[in-house]
Amino acid sequence: MGVIQLIVDGDLTTVVVEAGALSALGEALVEHCGPSRGRAAVVITDETVGGLYGAGIGASLVGAGWTPLSFSIRPGEQSKRLTTAGVIYRFLSDNRAGRDSVIVALGGGVVSDLAGFVAATWMRGVDFAICPTSLESCVDASIGGKTAVNIPGGKNLVGAFHQPKLVAIDPQVLVTLPFRDICAGLAESIKHGILFSEDFLSWHEENASAVLSLAGSFVGELIERNVVFKGDIVSGDAKEQSGKRILLNFGHTIGHAIESCCGFSLRHGECVSLGMVAASRLSHSSGLLGESEVLRVESVLSQYDLPVRLPEAMSWDRIRDAMLRDKKATAGSPRFVLLDGIGCPVVRDGVDENDVRAAYESLI
Ligand SMILES: NC(=O)c1ccc[n+]([C@@H]2O[C@H](COP(=O)([O-])OP(=O)(O)OC[C@H]3O[C@@H](n4cnc5c(N)ncnc54)[C@H](O)[C@@H]3O)[C@@H](O)[C@H]2O)c1
Ligand SMILES: [Zn+2]
C-alpha cells in the first residue's frame, strides 16, 4: 500500500494507506506536524471507535513525545452539531490546549467533520490530522478539507475549509465496521465510478463480493483509487469555485434532503444512494441518460445492499423545502449534477420542479 501526496489550496496533505498506520501515528505526526516536545495531541473520537482504538493511539502518541488528550462524542450524525463543538471548546480550554496543539480525528465522517470544524476554529486554526475508521471516511470524507456541523435549518450549513496535514488510513480497522456501514461507505465510491470512470464502475460490478468481504488487496485498491479520484478533483478546485468540485455533489441534492427529513435514521451513504437513483431518473427525463444506464446505476447500488427505493415515506413538500435550504441552491432553485452518460456529469440550474418531483417520487 502507499503514500499519496495532495496539494489543496497550497496546503500539503499526506495520505498514508498502510496496515499498522494507527500504531505509527505518533511518529507520523512528528514528521508532518513538526516536533512533539510535549505538545498536546487531542484525539477526538466517538465512544464506539474510541473504545476499540483509542488506547492504541494513545500509546503511540506517548511513545513519540506527545501529550495525549482524548474527547469522545456519542456516535452518530446527531452529534455533528454546534452544541457538541461548544463542549469540545470547553474541554480544550480546561486542558489549556494551546496554539501549537494538534487535533486528531479518530472515527468516521461525523467525527472528522466535527473535529475538523473545531481544528479550523480553535485559536483561529490549529494543525489537524485524520485517522479514518469508516469506509465512508477512507474513500471520501477524509479528503478535501471540508469540515462542518449541522444546524436545525439544514445539514453542513456551518463549516470551514481546513486541510489535514496527515490522513493515516489503517485498513485493518475496517474489520470491526458493521456491514451496514461498509455498504453505506461504498455509495460514495460507486459515485466516483459513475461520475469519472466507467472502468471503475465496472470494477465495482465485477468485484462486489470481494469488496464487501473486505478482501485485502481489493480494499487497498478501493481506498487508493478513491483517494486519487477525489484528490484530483479537490486539488483543482479546493473551495468549490471553478465548477469541478461541485460534481462530487451528484446524488446529494435530493440525498441531503432525505437525510434531513428522515431524522438521521438512514446513513449518509444510504441517502446518497437514493439521491443518485433520483438524479439518474432526472437525467433520463431531461433527455440526457438512457433507461438502461438508469437501471445500471440501480443495479450496482443493489449489489452493495444499498437502498434504491425509500424505506419510509417522506412527503414531497418536506423534501422540496429541505432542498431549497441546501447550500447549493442558487436564487431559490436547487442545483443538480446530472449525467449525460456514465462518466459525463453536467451541472444544471433551473430544472423544472415537476421533473424533480417525478424523479423523487420514482423512489416510492
Ligand atoms: N467532509 C466531507 O468531504 C464529507 C464527505 C462525505 C461524507 N461526509 C460526512 O460524513 C458523515 C458520514 O460518515 P460515516 O458514515 O463515516 O458516519 P459515522 O462517523 O457516524 O460512522 C458510522 C458508524 O460507524 C461507527 N464506526 C466507524 N468506524 C468504525 C470501526 N472501525 N469499527 C466499528 N464501528 C465504527 C461509528 O461509531 C458510527 O456509529 C456525514 O456526516 C457526512 O456528511 C463528509
Ligand atoms: Zn457524501
Which of the following is catalytic: 192, 268, 281, 284? 268
Minimum mean pLDDT range among 72-81, 128-137, 326-335: 326-335
CA distance 57 to 134: 16
Supply the pLDDT for residue 1.
Answer: 64
Q: Which of 191, 225, 256, 267 is catalytic?
A: 256
- Active-site residue 146, yes or no? yes
Q: Which atom of ligand 1 is nearest to the CA of 111?
A: 19
Phi, psi of 146 (to 5 degrees): -80, 130
Q: How would you label 308-344 residue by residue, b for 16+ Cβ within 10 Å and e otherwise?
A: bebeeebeeeebeebbeebbbeeeeebbbbbbeebee
State the pLDDT at residue 216: 83
Pairing relationship of beta strands 154-161 and 146-151 according to DSSP bridges: antiparallel
Per-residue pLDDT at 326: 79
Compute the chain's Rg from CA coordinates: 20
**Catalytic residue (one of 77, 136, 188, 298):** 188
Nine-digit cell string for 355: 421533473
Q: What is the pLDDT of residues 270-287, one digit of tens each?
A: 999 999 999 999 999 999
Query: What pLDDT, on the 0 to 100 scale, is given for residue 18?
Result: 96
Q: Is residue 192 annotated as a catalytic residue, yes or no?
A: no
Which residue owns the Cα nearest ligand 1 atom 20?
Answer: 76
Mean pLDDT over each residue of the chain, to the nearest integer: 96
What's the pLDDT at 106?
Answer: 99
Expressed in angstroms and rounded, the spacing between residue 122 Cα and the centre of ligand 1 is 22
pLDDT digits (tens, 9 = 90+) for 87-98: 999 999 999 999
For residue 173, the ligand 1 atom closest to its alpha carbon is: 31
Query: Which three cell numbers, joined as nine digits, stand for 3?
Result: 503514500
Clarify whether 252 is annotated catalytic: yes
Alpha carbon nearest to ligand 1 atom 12, residue:
109
* Cell numbers linked to 77: 450524525
pLDDT in tens, 2-55: 999 999 999 999 999 999 999 999 999 999 999 999 999 999 999 999 999 999
CA nearest ligand 1 atom 2, residue: 141
pLDDT tens for 144-177 read 999 999 999 889 999 999 999 999 999 999 999 9
Measuring from each residue's beta carbon to the nearest atom of ligand 1, which residues come in under 6 Å? 46, 48-49, 52, 75-77, 80, 107-111, 113, 133-134, 136-137, 140-141, 144, 146, 156, 173-174, 176-177, 181, 184, 267-268
Instruction: Write out pLDDT tens, residues 219-254.
Output: 999 999 999 999 999 999 999 998 899 999 999 999
Q: Supply the DSSP symbol for 140.
A: I
% of the chain residues with pLDDT over 70: 98
Spatial separation of the C-alpha atoms in residues 277 and 297, rounded to whole Å: 7
Instruction: Enumerate residues 6+ apart whose C-beta is below 8 A from 204.
Output: 186, 189, 190, 193, 211, 300, 303, 304
- Ligand (nearest to CA of 273): 2
Which has the higher per-residue pLDDT, 331 or 250? 250
pLDDT digits (tens, 9 = 90+) for 332-358: 678 899 999 999 999 999 899 999 999
Query: What per-residue confidence (pLDDT) applies to 54?
Result: 98
Grid cell listed for 205: 460490478
Catalytic one among 146, 155, 191, 267? 146
Q: Which domains does the chain have, with CATH numbers?
A: 3-176 (3.40.50.1970), 179-361 (1.20.1090.10)
Write down the catalytic residue from 39, 249, 270, 281. Answer: 249
8 Å CB contact between 61 and 25: yes
Q: Which atom of ligand 1 is nearest to the CA of 155?
A: 43
Confidence (pLDDT) at 154: 87
Q: Ligand 2 centroid vs 269 CA: distance in angstroms?
A: 7
Cross-strand pairs, 73: 46
Q: Whose CA is nearest to atom 3 of ligand 1?
A: 141
Q: How many A from CA of 37 to the centre of ligand 1?
A: 32
Q: Is the pLDDT of residue 330 over 80?
A: no
Distance 194 CA to ligand 2 centre (A): 14
CA pseudo-torsion sign 342, 280, 80, 162: positive
Helices 268-285 and 353-361, packing angle to 10 deg: 130
* pLDDT surpasses 80 at 129: yes
